[in-house]
Amino acid sequence: MQRSGGGPFFGKINVNSRHPLILAVRRLKHMKSLPHEKAEMIRRFARNYRDADISYDRDGIEWLGVYVDSLREKATDLENEQRIFALGCFYGVCLEETIGGEWNFVDDNWRFVSGDSYGIDPFECVRSQLRTDRPVSVLAAFDALEKSTSMSDEP
């Protein structure tokens, strides 16, 4: 790789290069948009195959809960694990749109943190509802998070 001037730490890097730093930045930019891309995929699926026009709000989370319940009896554990990422992304974007906050990528895992620093793992919420032995719903988790964030807004 060629650098121009400034010693070993400064100078221009050819942005078309395969330099590890350039590749890492490109990967990070893609990763930041990944939850939103997967969430949109779930919205298209709902519209095209379930005749449901869902939004990133409480109603969308209610639809998600019903859909996740429908998967429990029909799909194998492996099939459900393969769906968890996309469904969790949809759930996290719903949280982002209704409660506010942002996605963080920490220790190779996505996590959603509200504007009040309450963290939630949207994938574990979906996974919990999929398991019959852990029937915590995504809607109940949303309601609890919404309540905790609204309480922190009170004087």
Q: Which residue has the higher pLDDT, 117 or 9?
A: 117
Residue 14 included in any domain: no
Residue 67 domain flag: yes
Is 114 among the domain residues? yes
Q: Contact at 8 Å (CB) between 138 and 67?
A: no
CA distance linking residue 123 with residue 119, whole number of Å: 12
Q: What is the pLDDT of residues 113-132, one digit of tens each?
A: 776 667 788 988 998 888 76
Q: Using the 8-state DSSP alphabet, how is residue 9 labeled?
A: T
pTM: 0.75
Evaluate whether residue 16 is within a structural domain: no
Q: Give 13-52 pLDDT, tens digit per residue.
A: 455 556 565 555 555 555 567 889 999 999 999 999 999 9
Q: Is the pLDDT of residue 7 over 80?
A: no
Tokens of 111: 């996590």
Looking up residue 114, the CATH number of its domain turns out to be 1.20.120.1090
Residue 5 has pLDDT above 50, yes or no: no
Q: Which domain holds residue 136?
A: 34-153
Name, in order, each residue with C-beta under 8 angstroms of 67's C-beta and a sequence gap of 6 or more: 46, 50, 87
Is residue 45 in a domain? Answer: yes
pLDDT value at residue 130: 85
Number of domains making up the chain: 1
